[in-house]
A and B are shown apart, each in its own frame.
Chain A
């Protein structure tokens, strides 16, 4: 794939992610903060973004969202096929819920 096309896809993911995050927050803020793994401050900012601000943010060459399983272990659990899938998912959920939320510093 050409670089331009790849960058286009990055921007598309960004837009999709931001729109989804905003929709989640507007529908049920508390549940959304858990799902997105973000703190109150970040949630407030995303919730208040206007459409044009959101578009500007999304038009970046870098992805705005990142992997939540920084830990090698969580990645291993989510992809591990040998163990019972539901048990692995539960283990991963326990670890992710126990991680600190994404905050603004």
Chain B
């Protein structure tokens, strides 16, 4: 679609720029702006200095269920729901805003950036298509991401019941070995 208004186009470029800076994949950009693919690729190269990665987006909803991703994505979805409910913001703007607040939390607590913007975007789509939903933990009352088809009446979250191997990834072990 060709943009008739220059101002509108400028807004689209600004939005795409912000998304690219936050690490969005090309597919996310295409779905959220009406700039042409060529222009988006050009913009991507200009900002990141490399061509956008090819290939499919991460698509597994099971990824959100393992311990660490579940903690990160549950935090993100709680922020997202808070903003959309109270702050009169929606769609891609709400996604960007919540993702920035999520990144802030990561930075303050020196956590790894487990949830990428593209994953966060996929997460919202999974919620909208009712593949995933949120369910309260019976112990702490917090809202956590779960599969829609599972039974959640007795859900205990991964943070109330931390599995013994939780967070002990190869990366963490390697970092500890390097530090020691």
Binding site for B on A (CB under 8 A): 29-31, 33-34, 39-40, 71, 73, 83-87, 89-91, 93-95, 97-98, 101
Contacts and interface: CB of A to CB of B under 8 A. Distances in A.
Nearest to A102: B86
B83 A34 contact: yes
B158 to A, nearest CB: 10
A98 B143 contact: yes
B87 A87 contact: no
Given A30-B97, A31-B100, A34-B83, A94 B74 contact: yes
A86 B106 CA distance: 9
Interface in B69-120: 71-72, 74-75, 78-79, 81-83, 85-89, 97, 100-101, 105, 108-111
A79 to B, nearest CB: 15
Given A90-B111, A93-B105, A97-B78, A33 B100 contact: no
Given A31-B101, A34-B82, A89-B108, 19 more contacts: A30-B87, A31-B100, A33-B83, A33-B87, A34-B83, A34-B101, A39-B86, A40-B86, A73-B141, A84-B167, A85-B109, A90-B75, A90-B109, A91-B71, A91-B159, A94-B74, A94-B144, A95-B141, A98-B82
The secondary structure that dominates the A interface is helix
B140 interface: yes
Contact of A29 (B71, B72, B87, B105): B87
B87 A34 contact: yes
Contacts of B97: 30-31
B148 to A, nearest CB: 19
B99 to A, nearest CB: 12
Contacts of A90: 71-72, 75, 105, 109, 111, 159
B142 interface: yes
B131 interface: no
Given A71-B141, A86-B110, A87-B162, A94 B75 contact: yes
Contact of A30 (B72, B89, B110): B89
Nearest to A30: B87
Across the A-B interface, the 9 shortest Cβ-Cβ residue pairs: A97-B78, A86-B109, A91-B159, A30-B87, A95-B142, A98-B143, A94-B142, A101-B86, A98-B78
